[in-house]
Structures are given as C-alpha cells and as structure tokens.
C-alpha cells in the first residue's frame, strides 16, 4: 500500500526513464504492445516474463536498436525514442547484450578503455577509469588477456564493465546471470548492489528469480508483449496472473 502511494507521488519529472505506451510489431506480430513504466533515479527495476514475452524487444527500443511503432521514451526529461543507439549511449544509457559481445580480438583492458572513452577525451584518463572498473569487477589481473579467451562468467563481467565504463546514469542489463552458476550469480548480484549504492540506476531483464528478488525494488511482468503486473517484488510475485502465466509454469 505504501509502495502504491509513493508511486503516485513520483510524477513524470522525477522519473529517470519514462516509457509511455510503446508498441512494436514485427510483420504484423505484436512483440510489445502499449507498455508503460517508469524507472526512478537510484532504483533497480526488473523486467521479467517468459521467453518471447517481448523483454528484449522492449530493451532494444530503449537502447535504440530500433524505434518503437508508437509511444514515447523519455530519459532524463528528453525524448529519446527513434534515436540511434550511439546517441542514446551518449545520453547516459549503458547496455549489455543478451548474447555477450565483447570485442573478441582485443584485450580485456582495451575493451573497457573503449567504453571509458565515451566520458573522457584522453586515453590516459580512460585507462585510469578502466583500471578502477576492472578492479571493481574482479577483472584487473585478467586485463591483458584477449577477450575471446575468457570464460563465460568473465565475459559477462567484461560486458558489464564496458557498459559501466561509459559512465551511464542508467544501466540496462540483459540477462547477465543467465547460464551462470549460483556462486557466480551471487558474485554479480553483490557487484550490482554495490554499483547501485554508488548511484547507478539499473534496469534489468532477468530470468534468474534468485537475482531478481535479491536486487529489484520494483518489477514489471511482461506476457505476450503486454504488461500484466507492476510493483514491489512481494506483491508482484504473489499476483495470481503472474503465478499462472510465468512463475507457475516455471516452478512446476
């Protein structure tokens, strides 16, 4: 109940990211239809839903991989729908890819330097930023390795590191825990919580419920491209519609 009150009190002016009624169709098939939600500064917001629910499509629209057919996306008070992905990145939205794609032939450090060059003009400063971030993500002693030689968990961390190096105000994480062992998941969860405490707002798509419940302050549930529930984890995860469409199916 209290959660509901705060939500109505936070108007459009306080949301970092405001998604309003966006839709996307592929060859007539509605991948996302009329989805709206807001991410407030400093929170961790999770989008969950079964496979094919439209999570990644939603993400790709926010990150600028393609434009929504209708609706608006506002970031920090500025309309960003339809901008190119590099323009969106420069406005302060960092992202990871569901299938990790670090720059394969470059070293771990060079990967992160490239991200850092978005917030600084000199390679020297970018190196400093990169070192800090690599240390944070436990990759510092692997900095001279070629990215393609890393293990999957390390590549996922590298992907987060590169996105983080751009100095984003909002970090979009697309299933960074998928395919990780529980200990690895816990390690990333701890890192993300740490980052969030330092002021990075996070929007994540996640399948691993253990991570979602540990991290998210609010959750949006997508089903067949439409939002079927939104709110704090406690309420959302008990919502009958959610249990039936998603959680139930998975836990059975």
Binding site for another protein (CB under 8 A): 63-65, 84-87, 89-90, 94-95, 97, 101-107, 110, 113-115, 117-118, 121-123, 126, 144-146, 149, 162-163, 166
Contact 46, 216 (CB under 8 A): yes
Least CB distance to another protein at residue 9 (A) = 34
With beta carbons less than 8 A apart as the criterion, state whether 224 and 55 touch.
Answer: no
Q: Which is nearer to another protein, 23 or 96 (CB)?
A: 96
Residue number, 90 or 238, with CB nearest to another protein? 90
CB of 103 to another protein, least distance (A): 4
Write the CB contacts of 159 (distance below 8 Å, at least 6 apart in sequence).
96, 97, 100, 101, 102, 176
Q: How far is the CB of 104 from another protein (least distance, A)?
A: 6
Closer residue to another protein, CB minimum distance, 162 or 218: 162
Least separation, in Å, of the C-beta of 110 and another protein?
7
Provide the minimum distance between the beta carbon of 118 and another protein in the complex, in angstroms, as a whole number: 4
| Between 50 and 167, CB nearer to another protein | 167
Considering the complex, state which of residue 63 and residue 80 has its C-beta at the smaller distance from another protein.
63
CB atoms within 10 A of CB 175: 22
Cα gap 48→79, rounded to integer Å: 25
């Amino acid at each position: 109940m209290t959660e509901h009150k705060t939500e109505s009190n936070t108007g459009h002016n306080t949301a970092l990211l405001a998604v309003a009624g966006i839709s996307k169709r592929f060859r007539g098939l509605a991948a996302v239809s009329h989805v709206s939600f807001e991410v407030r500064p400093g929170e961790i917001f999770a989008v969950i839903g079964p496979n094919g629910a439209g999570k990644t499509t939603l993400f790709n629209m926010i990150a600028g991989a393609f434009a929504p057919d209708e609706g608006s996306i506002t970031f920090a008070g500025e309309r960003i729908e339809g901008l190119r992905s590099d323009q969106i990145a420069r406005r302060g939205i960092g992202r990871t890819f569901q299938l990790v794609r670090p720059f394969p032939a470059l070293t771990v450090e060079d990967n992160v330097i490239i991200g850092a060059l978005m917030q600084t003009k000199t390679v020297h400063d970018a190196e400093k930023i990169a070192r800090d971030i690599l240390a944070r993500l436990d990759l510092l002693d692997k900095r001279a390795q070629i990215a393609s030689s890393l293990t999957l968990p390390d590549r996922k961390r590298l992907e987060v590191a590169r996105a983080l190096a751009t100095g984003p105000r909002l970090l979009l994480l697309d299933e960074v825990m998928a395919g990780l062992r529980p200990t690895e998941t816990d390690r990333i969860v701890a890192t993300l919580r740490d980052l969030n405490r330092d002021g990075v707002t996070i929007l994540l798509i996640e399948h691993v419920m253990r991570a979602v419940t540990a991290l998210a302050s609010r959750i949006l549930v997508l089903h067949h491209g439409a939002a079927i529930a939104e709110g704090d984890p406690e309420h959302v995860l008990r919502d009958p519609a959610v249990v039936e469409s998603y959680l139930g199916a998975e836990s059975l």
